[in-house]
Structure 1
Amino acid sequence: MHFPVRAITLDLDDTLWPIAPAIVRAEDALDDWLRRHAPRAATRWPPDARRRLRARCDEERPHLAHDMTGQRRWMIERMLADAGEDTALVQAAYDAYFAARCEVEHYDDSVPALERLAARVPLAALSNGNACLRTIGLMHLFRFQLGAREHGAAKPDAGIFHAACARLGFAPGEVLHVGDDIRTDVEGAQRAGLRTAWINRGGARWPRTMPPPDLEFTTLAALADWLDANPQPESMSA
């Protein structure tokens, strides 16, 4: 399939890097910080208890569903308060967690592919998570990063896709959204009028009941190959 691509929006977690190892690393970093600075909270809130607290956050504070930073800060404050620790420690505890959360391990193809894509068209990051591209060291490849927290709503809400297109200066049909998640990335972008590319690293089958993506690849490198094989008009280059 060939169609013009003036810009690309990209999901981050599980598209550029696997999220699970980063979250495990972040939880371990928080454990270590609590043991050193708030030991009663460390004892009171082992990982299983924190998972239950996360579920309570989802139930009691649905207005934070799009705000991973707000969720985590609320959880840490609750943990400290319930254990009789100083709640003024929230920021320092969160900083320890977040620094480790941004220690991501890129898929082998991700960075070279991003460099190739960025040389061809403008890139924008569009994520429901709270990873910081500046901290990770990839911000120079992107025009901007738009997160659900900053926008006020998460994918698959059409508004976040439209906001990204407006900042890029292109109509939705001229922008290709790239991501791993069937519902939040592909279905959400389709409903917002964007072109879609599904990064299917695990070899999953597309649901028969849903309209397929415009493109499907097992790696980001394959997307870069596709873009190289389908040159865009000069006026569409970055």
Structure 2
Amino acid sequence: MNPKALTFDYFGTLVDVDRGGTLGMAEVLRRLSVETGESAFDVYLDWDIRNVRLYRGQAYTRYRDVAREALAAMLDARWPGARRGHAMDTLTDVFLTHLVEASPPHDDAAPFLDWAASRYPLMPITNMDSDLWRRTQLTRYFEHVTTAEMAQAYKPSQAIFSLALDRLALNARDVLHCSLASWADIDGAKPLGMAVAWINRGGDTLGTWQPRPDFEFDTLSPVRDVLDGLSFTATGETI
């Protein structure tokens, strides 16, 4: 493996989407005057599960619409009638604004991207809508992005990974993909022949039948060591 470009899962791998999502859910509950003993984080996770199940279980619909449907279903299941008199489009916009704009970069993300940007083309491959991704905090590092909206398909569909490779004008074997989300990215990228570095920030366990990544780390930082080693080897030096 001697990568000519790096691709990334964006939300979770590079930015802490759980933090932004929790802030967004807290604001939704505040606007609805919902009082609950549950944490906003737990409510956000309920939404997240519903959201992923929806977009994986139906024909492509843009992320914003899936998020609205999942949010309405979650609120109705937990607090029937709470959203009466409130426009779901407004509540969804409030929630997604926090999710995309208030998800902070992980501590290792900017240093890694600073190092990598002068050495490789960099491209996120994300399930987010294109306009929502453009409102996030690390867009300055990326000239191009491939979104589910562009591919009309969500990860782990190979359609979105294939589109990314076409846009990079590279073969799968020439790209290293870095991702936290094993089910979306390992399962989607490996069958195409892409190498994958699993950034396992949460200490998760792979399913029995899932393909295995080429590398597993708990942060992005060791990926630099791998790439430095590959670059050094490519010069013909021995290490």
TM bin, normalised by shorter chain, reads 0.7 to 0.9
Please report how far the alpha carbon of residue 182 of structure 1 lies from its aligned counterpart in structure 2 after TM superposition: 2.2
Q: Residue 70 in 1 paired to residue 65 in 2?
A: yes
> More displaced, 191-200 or 15-24?
15-24
Q: Residue 164 in 1 paired to residue 171 in 2?
A: no
What is the match of residue 32 of structure 1?
30
Residue 62 and residue 195 in structure 1: after superposition, are their counterparts in 2 closer, same or farther (change >3 A)?
A: closer
Partners of 2:210 and 2:43 in 1: CA distance: 37
Structure 2: tracts of 5 or more residues without a match: none
Residue 59 and residue 70 in structure 1: after superposition, are their counterparts in 2 closer, same or farther (change >3 A)?
A: closer
Residue 159 and residue 21 in structure 1: after superposition, are their counterparts in 2 closer, same or farther (change >3 A)?
A: same
Q: What code does the residue aligned with 2:25 have?
A: E
Partners of 2:186 and 2:169 in 1: CA distance: 21
Q: Residue 16 in 1 paired to residue 20 in 2?
A: no
SS of residue matched to 2:95: helix
Partners of 2:70 and 2:210 in 1: CA distance: 36
- Contact 2:51–2:67 under 8 Å retained in 1: no
1:49-81 Cα distance to aligned partner (Å, 9 max, x none): 9958x859957994367643112234567879x
1:4-38 Cα distance to aligned partner (Å, 9 max, x none): 10111100222113332222111112233445xxx
Q: Residue 186 in 1 paired to residue 186 in 2?
A: yes
Please report how far the alpha carbon of residue 165 of structure 1 lies from its aligned counterpart in structure 2 after TM superposition: 0.5
SS of residue matched to 1:213: coil
- Contact 1:10–1:125 under 8 Å retained in 2: yes
> More displaced, 103-112 or 60-69?
60-69
1:161-217 Cα distance to aligned partner (Å, 9 max, x none): 010010011111111111112222112101122111111223445556544322222
Please report how far the alpha carbon of residue 149 of structure 1 lies from its aligned counterpart in structure 2 after TM superposition: 3.4
Scaled by the length of structure 1, what TM-score is found? 0.75
- Contact 1:73–1:90 under 8 Å retained in 2: yes
1:138-175 Cα distance to aligned partner (Å, 9 max, x none): 11211322222332211111111010010011111111
Partners of 1:141 and 1:56 in 2: CA distance: 28
SS of residue matched to 2:145: strand
> More displaced, 16-25 or 113-122?
16-25
Q: How does 1:35-184 map to 2 (within 5 A)?
A: 35=33, 51=46, 55=50, 62-63=57-58, 67-74=62-69, 85=85, 89-102=87-100, 103-130=102-129, 132-184=132-184
Aligned residues: 222
SS of residue matched to 1:231: helix
> More displaced, 96-105 or 202-211?
202-211
Residue 227 and residue 99 in structure 1: after superposition, are their counterparts in 2 closer, same or farther (change >3 A)?
A: same
Report sequence identity in percent: 25
Partners of 2:91 and 2:50 in 1: CA distance: 20
SS of residue matched to 2:119: coil
Residue 150 and residue 23 in structure 1: after superposition, are their counterparts in 2 closer, same or farther (change >3 A)?
A: same
Q: What code does the residue aligned with 1:154 have?
A: Y
SS of residue matched to 1:120: coil
Scaled by the length of structure 2, what TM-score is found? 0.75
Structure 1: tracts of 5 or more residues without a match: 36-41
- Contact 2:189–2:196 under 8 Å retained in 1: yes
What is the match of residue 38 of structure 1?
none
- Contact 2:54–2:66 under 8 Å retained in 1: no
Q: CA RMSD in A?
A: 3.8
